[in-house]
Structure 1
């Protein structure tokens, strides 16, 4: 099995074509092993050349609320009072570490999203 690092767009496209051909390879076969190696190389190339930025923490909270059909009131156990929820969502107050922990546990929002710096009235003032 001769496999090369993916260094160019042409290498990348070639690897994608080969992955498509090997996609239904049976487990524990040389083709399956080649598929596994190629997908690992493609993932590494994509991570370097097509990075996906993490979403804004407040937009992530709003997305998670929308997908679960949560209201602002549903956030109160995570963020505190109704006023605190309003302050957070309107960016007048930043998330605290305890809020981040609760949002991670209750909504499943990854902590790495919530701990990012984001624009708020506190940071822009």
Structure 2
């Protein structure tokens, strides 16, 4: 595969496939250099076309609360007296 800019999904998939083929190239080899260039091109394409936005902090806490069946306060202090699943250290010091 000739290395060139990625302009569409077909080029993106082809670059991913080529990256997979060169993944185990020894460091400093032409394959390693090829892999490095492909990684940069793929990352740039993903940043432009498959961006993942940062989560809303409140929504993230609510999601964590739901998954742990806990209140947001217990997420910040999991060793609270209200959570028997996280016993406190007897010495009061972190181990």
Q: Same fold (TM over 0.5)?
A: yes
- Displacement of 1:59 in angstroms is 2.4
TM-score by length of 2: 0.63
CA RMSD of aligned residues (A): 2.6
Structure showing the higher helix proportion among its residues: 1
- Displacement of 1:74 in angstroms is 6.4
Q: 1:24 to 1:70 in 2, by over 3 A?
A: farther
- Displacement of 1:71 in angstroms is 6.4
Report how many aligned residue pairs link the two structures.
74
Moved over 6 A (4+): 64-67
1:29 counterpart residue number: 29
Higher relative contact order (CA 8 A, sep 6+): 1
Structure 1 unmatched ranges of 5 or more: 77-125
Once the two structures are superposed, residues 50-97 of structure 1 have per-residue CA deviations (whole angstroms, 9 ceiling, x without a partner) of 111111111233556778x89615637xxxxxxxxxxxxxxxxxxxxx
1:13 counterpart residue number: 13
Structure 2 unmatched ranges of 5 or more: 78-95
**Which structure 2 residues correspond to residues 1-125 of structure 1 after superposition, within 5 A?**
3-62=3-62, 72=73, 75=76
TM-score by length of 1: 0.49
SS, match of residue 27 in structure 1? coil
